[in-house]
Chains A and B, each alone.
Chain A
């Protein structure tokens, strides 16, 4: 079927098999490979993107379901002049990433979390990111990054 999605402000229209997952549409059709696939059970969150501003796991959304909607991936967060989004900046500043594979999904989930809760506590960040797995960081610096991005002081 023909699917048209506005990805990071750019319309992408393509004839794709009905069963095409949104994550494959983003990676293979739109050519945006930052969004990763880490599992096949909607458990890891590596594929998290924003669909009309709400975070979704793009491995569990059909491209067809996103037809006519807007999707934002981590590539869409950086400003045209290269300036980092506050969450991107904070992940770097707080060493909230190591291998980087969970990072695009983790950043998008964090953007969504902060939209819902602009000044979260560390425990609220942990609860909010429960659906996003990271194997490298032990989560400590991811939590710090979200606190930093929210404008609160990182005290540990």
Chain B
């Protein structure tokens, strides 16, 4: 029996549960002995001109090895984005948390003392604290550009004609609030220049190879002069893609000081200085017939990009995925990205797709509510049907496979939807102040959508051991175990003999790494392809040894031996015996799986909430979820990815939000203030399995890293609105905190 598809506990775990792994701040490598400790002095003001910086006192403080500001750096500007982000702020600071100076000391505890002595003269400017102020344009972050709008995509002007034939049209502006990725491990880096002139950088990153290219480029050295190692990484969620600007400054400083440098930020620093996610303001307009058929849909996206747009793919990806699982005949989208005096926005679990899904799933509920129809029925009436795949959406996405109605039906049946609706009615008739709310979300998302491929290498040694190198960069997903399972299945080698390595650019020079739920479908396919190449090599060698024609040989994966087909009692050869005869001492194949097209995982979620209308408190009682990502390699980690996604997605709907006051001061800048979700707010998850394969990669798999996040946010959000639907509330924005619910009820009761 194949090991693929069976529950396998992770190979990664033993070290993590006994020794706690080796994260970047745990490194005690010889190359880092005598390392200077580093801290960034960051702007406490959202928008200000820097009148001057006096570092003299700081330089004289105990243990200080160096204090550097923009004036000291001889680096070319940061290449990314439509505006140039300085490595350290030079003339103007544009968000609270922006790095202004770097302080290096002998001892960790000397950092805070010295940093406090860096005297920066800030001349405050008016702040653009959010999307509204950015669009007003009264204050500009970059006056020379004449606007706070840094990117426009889609239709310049909307044409209302698409709604002409509609019997009902509903429009709603929906905030998809800014949230903090908040991996448990904050950002950290350790860097050392060797005597050979090479830089070794240990980074908490999802993409060592991308980080290497970024560091080499920004430091002005060749890629061969930089080695990046991703040690154990304590979560990323999209916010650790590549190298952040701090790594470049630290690499420069290490060279300047002539000694290694180590840096780990504080959590409070992390909450203002690591990129945030989401931060869109979306206006949906949906129209159709009274029977529930949607005829036209419009999505107007405004993306808050923060002070320095490091990436601008989020709003356009939201446009691409605008229609979700529905066959809308007429669709219009546009997006604008604006700069604000806030922390830069970048990828966060889902990255562009949760925003699209939240918009269209709220729109479907608003449309259903306006018609007085059940939201499940309205969805069924508009799903793209199984026979329509592959399906090209009006916005240009090319969906592979989907069973959208089946997913929803399974969820509703498992949850007991009819009984839940009856319970909701019963409570209402009884005047129960604790309302029951049911929220549905049906979703499709895109994984491996970056258009790139991934590397994979497999070696089989004369002792029978297998070593694989993946270009993917797992940091908690359990991909190492999944890849070992794929190899065990394909080669017939037991798991214990297989080692999977990743994350060191000297070992894996060419790779893209982990984001966008790409790793199994691309990295896994690469490993599969490498395994098949090794098998082809072995077939020829084994044929030689057994004096048979290669086509007469077979690999018996049950026993892990080569034999002549149809002659089971004849001589067999082990992998070790075959590897021994390989010309360079081992069997090896190093491949690039390059034709990886995007795949489109989908699913349906039902959330059940209780809302205490007297206090506004929402308690999430149940989430029932189908997340279909094709064939499952390891159900244990597959379910784990879904659990994590459900938790993070629910967190956005229920409680998490990054906030600023009108002057751009962050008001959620520590874990005491940011409502990071805990075990108490979440229920046990109810997972329902479905597996619809794709034809777009060797394994038939789709990505599962982000899927459940995407469905759960609108499911929970819709559930809260549903609970309040007979009390005059048609919509309230996330997070659905008690104060928001209470305010919505007060307004609703007035209407």
Residues of A within 8 A of B (CB): 17, 19-20, 24, 27-28, 31, 33-44, 46, 74-75, 77-78, 84, 88, 91-93, 95, 97-104, 107, 122, 125-127, 129-143, 156
Cβ–Cβ < 8 Å partners of B648 in chain A: 135, 138
Cβ–Cβ < 8 Å partners of B637 in chain A: 95
- Complex CA distance for A46 and B640, rounded to whole angstroms: 20
- Complex CA distance for A100 and B15, rounded to whole angstroms: 9
A137/B643 in contact, CB under 8 A:
yes
Which of B232, B235, B679 is packed against the most chain A CB atoms within 10 Å?
A: B679
Kindly identify which residue among B12, B17, B671 contacts A44, using a CB–CB cutoff of 8 Å.
B671
B647/A98 in contact, CB under 8 A:
no
A-B contacts, 20 of them at CB < 8 A, read A24-B108, A33-B26, A35-B20, A38-B184, A38-B267, A39-B267, A40-B266, A40-B267, A43-B670, A44-B671, A75-B20, A78-B18, A92-B13, A95-B639, A99-B475, A104-B20, A135-B183, A136-B184, A138-B648, A138-B685
A33 with B647: in contact, given A39-B670, A98-B476 (CB under 8 Å)?
no
Kindly identify which residue among B182, B670, B682 contacts A139, using a CB–CB cutoff of 8 Å.
B682
Known: A95-B636, A135-B182. 7 other contacts (CB 8 A): A35-B20, A100-B13, A100-B21, A102-B184, A127-B680, A130-B678, A135-B676
Cβ–Cβ < 8 Å partners of A20 in chain B: 109
Is B22 positioned at the interface, with any CB of A under 8 Å from its CB?
Answer: yes
Kindly identify which residue among B17, B476, B671, B682 contacts A136, using a CB–CB cutoff of 8 Å.
B476
A100/B476 in contact, CB under 8 A:
yes
- Complex CA distance for A41 and B269, rounded to whole angstroms: 12
Task: Tell me the chain B residues, 599-634 only, with Cβ under 8 Å from chain A.
Answer: none
B679/A126 in contact, CB under 8 A:
yes
A33 nearest in chain B by CB position: B26
A138/B647 in contact, CB under 8 A:
yes
B706 CB, min distance to chain A CBs, angstroms: 13
Cβ–Cβ < 8 Å partners of B672 in chain A: 41-43
B268 nearest in chain A by CB position: A40
A41/B10 in contact, CB under 8 A:
no
A100 CB, min distance to chain B CBs, angstroms: 4
Is B684 positioned at the interface, with any CB of A under 8 Å from its CB?
Answer: yes
Cβ–Cβ < 8 Å partners of A34 in chain B: 18-21
The 10 A-B pairs at the shortest CB distance, nearest first, are namely A34-B20, A138-B647, A101-B234, A99-B476, A100-B16, A43-B671, A98-B476, A39-B267, A33-B26, A138-B643
Is B470 positioned at the interface, with any CB of A under 8 Å from its CB?
Answer: no
B7 CB, min distance to chain A CBs, angstroms: 9
Kindly identify which residue among B9, B183, B685 contacts A95, using a CB–CB cutoff of 8 Å.
B9
Cβ–Cβ < 8 Å partners of A102 in chain B: 184
A41/B267 in contact, CB under 8 A:
yes
Kindly identify which residue among A101, A122, A136, A137 contacts B684, using a CB–CB cutoff of 8 Å.
A122
B640/A95 in contact, CB under 8 A:
yes
Cβ–Cβ < 8 Å partners of A88 in chain B: 17-18
Is B645 positioned at the interface, with any CB of A under 8 Å from its CB?
Answer: yes
B676/A101 in contact, CB under 8 A:
no
- Complex CA distance for A123 and B686, rounded to whole angstroms: 16
Which of B9, B235, B264, B637 is packed against the most chain A CB atoms within 10 Å?
A: B235
- Complex CA distance for A42 and B679, rounded to whole angstroms: 17
- Complex CA distance for A34 and B237, rounded to whole angstroms: 22
B680/A130 in contact, CB under 8 A:
yes
Kindly identify which residue among A19, A99, A131 contacts B184, using a CB–CB cutoff of 8 Å.
A99
A77 nearest in chain B by CB position: B18
Is B646 positioned at the interface, with any CB of A under 8 Å from its CB?
Answer: yes
- Complex CA distance for A19 and B109, rounded to whole angstroms: 9
Cβ–Cβ < 8 Å partners of B194 in chain A: none
Cβ–Cβ < 8 Å partners of A101 in chain B: 21, 23, 183-185, 234-235
- Complex CA distance for A43 and B686, rounded to whole angstroms: 28
Kindly identify which residue among B267, B268, B646, B679 contacts A143, using a CB–CB cutoff of 8 Å.
B679
Is B728 positioned at the interface, with any CB of A under 8 Å from its CB?
Answer: no
Cβ–Cβ < 8 Å partners of B643 in chain A: 137-141
A75 with B670: in contact, given A38-B267, A41-B267, A95-B9 (CB under 8 Å)?
no
B44 CB, min distance to chain A CBs, angstroms: 16
B242 CB, min distance to chain A CBs, angstroms: 18
A87 nearest in chain B by CB position: B17
- Complex CA distance for A44 and B21, rounded to whole angstroms: 18
B587 CB, min distance to chain A CBs, angstroms: 32
A36 with B678: in contact, given A95-B9, A97-B17 (CB under 8 Å)?
no
B637 CB, min distance to chain A CBs, angstroms: 7
B490 CB, min distance to chain A CBs, angstroms: 24
Kindly identify which residue among A42, A92, A122 contacts B14, using a CB–CB cutoff of 8 Å.
A92
A137/B670 in contact, CB under 8 A:
no
A89 nearest in chain B by CB position: B17
Cβ–Cβ < 8 Å partners of A131 in chain B: 678
Is B233 positioned at the interface, with any CB of A under 8 Å from its CB?
Answer: yes
B185/A99 in contact, CB under 8 A:
yes
A138/B645 in contact, CB under 8 A:
yes
Task: Tell me the chain B residues, 184-211 only, with Cβ under 8 Å from chain A.
Answer: 184-186
Is B477 positioned at the interface, with any CB of A under 8 Å from its CB?
Answer: yes
Is B81 positioned at the interface, with any CB of A under 8 Å from its CB?
Answer: no
B234/A36 in contact, CB under 8 A:
yes
Is B258 positioned at the interface, with any CB of A under 8 Å from its CB?
Answer: no
- Complex CA distance for A135 and B672, rounded to whole angstroms: 16
A99/B235 in contact, CB under 8 A:
yes
Kindly identify which residue among A33, A95, A125, A133 contacts B676, using a CB–CB cutoff of 8 Å.
A133
Cβ–Cβ < 8 Å partners of B268 in chain A: 39-41
A133/B235 in contact, CB under 8 A:
no
